[in-house]
């Protein structure tokens, strides 16, 4: 069961790599750079953000800033996974690199089957996503390179659509949908005030302001 869960998640998520490879090439990265991002950054939303900011005409610092902020949640995952994995040395480095949404999610979902299943779920899903994500990144990047002008094939619309697809499952309740809508309006409002790319990072302020105080739950 753990093996089946891990493999199905790995294949499904890995296939998103096609969208990333295509988005990356459409933003001006080479095939090699796109593959390097998938191999070494290996955290999907951050990779999409880095190429998204560059594609929007943003500076390198803005791209790195947006990607890094999106990557902070992996630290929280690591804190949850470390006591479970108990790896040292090189295995700890490998475990850290494979600490992403999916490996953590599958590991936590295996809790009813015991810690051995959780550990197996983490390693299988992490390495499975790693393999498929990198293969499909190469496929997407080569495909986009062969297609040429991004607008001619709708790749310039595929990128925001992919972001919307990544955002959608996170909008679990009306409160989170409200935060998303406020963030979109905020970005559009400051778009003409800041250099390209910076409005994306500045929108993290919405998360800081909204999350500063505990939410009052009304019944």
Q: Please, which of residues 155-194 interact with another protein by CB under 8 A?
A: 155-168, 170-171, 176, 179-181, 183-184, 186-188, 191-192, 194
Toward another protein, which CB reaches closer, 52 or 128? 52
First to last CA, the chain: 39
CA distances from 92 to 3, 55, 156, 218 (A): 22, 34, 39, 43
| Of the candidate residues 7, 96, 108, 135, the single one contacting another protein (CB under 8 A) | 96
Nearest distance from residue 116's CB to another protein, in Å?
20
Give the largest CA-CA distance in the chain: 55
Toward another protein, which CB reaches closer, 131 or 164? 164
Nearest distance from residue 150's CB to another protein, in Å?
10
Which of the residues 136 through 155 are near another protein (CB under 8 A)? Answer: 151-155
Residue for token digits 């998520």?
13
- For residue 41, give the DSSP letter: I
Tally of CB atoms within 10 A around 63: 23
Toward another protein, which CB reaches closer, 114 or 191? 191
- Quick one: tokens of 6? 């891990």
Which of the residues 106 through 125 are near another protein (CB under 8 A)? Answer: none
Which of the residues 38 through 77 are near another protein (CB under 8 A)? Answer: 40-43, 45-50, 52-57, 60, 63-64, 66-77
List phi, psi (to 5°) of 203.
-70, -15
């Amino acid at each position: 069961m753990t093996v089946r869960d891990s493999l199905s998640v790995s294949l499904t998520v890995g296939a998103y790599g096609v969208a990333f490879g295509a988005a990356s090439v459409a933003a001006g990265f080479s095939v090699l750079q796109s593959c390097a991002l998938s191999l070494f950054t290996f955290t999907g939303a951050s990779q999409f953000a880095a190429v998204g900011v560059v594609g929007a005409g943003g500076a390198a610092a803005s791209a790195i800033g947006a990607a890094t902020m999106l990557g902070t949640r992996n630290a929280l995952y690591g804190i949850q996974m470390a006591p479970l994995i108990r790896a040292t040395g090189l295995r700890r480095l490998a475990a850290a690199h494979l600490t992403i949404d999916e490996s953590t999610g599958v590991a936590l979902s295996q809790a009813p089957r015991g810690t051995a299943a959780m550990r197996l779920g983490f390693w299988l899903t992490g390495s499975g996503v790693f393999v498929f994500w990198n293969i499909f990144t190469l496929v997407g990047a080569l495909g986009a390179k062969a297609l040429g002008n991004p607008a001619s094939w709708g790749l310039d619309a595929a990128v925001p659509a992919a972001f919307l697809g990544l955002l959608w499952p996170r909008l679990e309740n009306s409160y989170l949908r409200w935060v998303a809508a406020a963030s979109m309006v905020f970005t559009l409002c400051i778009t003409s005030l800041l250099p390209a790319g910076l409005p994306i990072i500045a929108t993290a302020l919405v998360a800081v302001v909204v999350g500063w105080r505990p939410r009052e739950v009304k019944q």
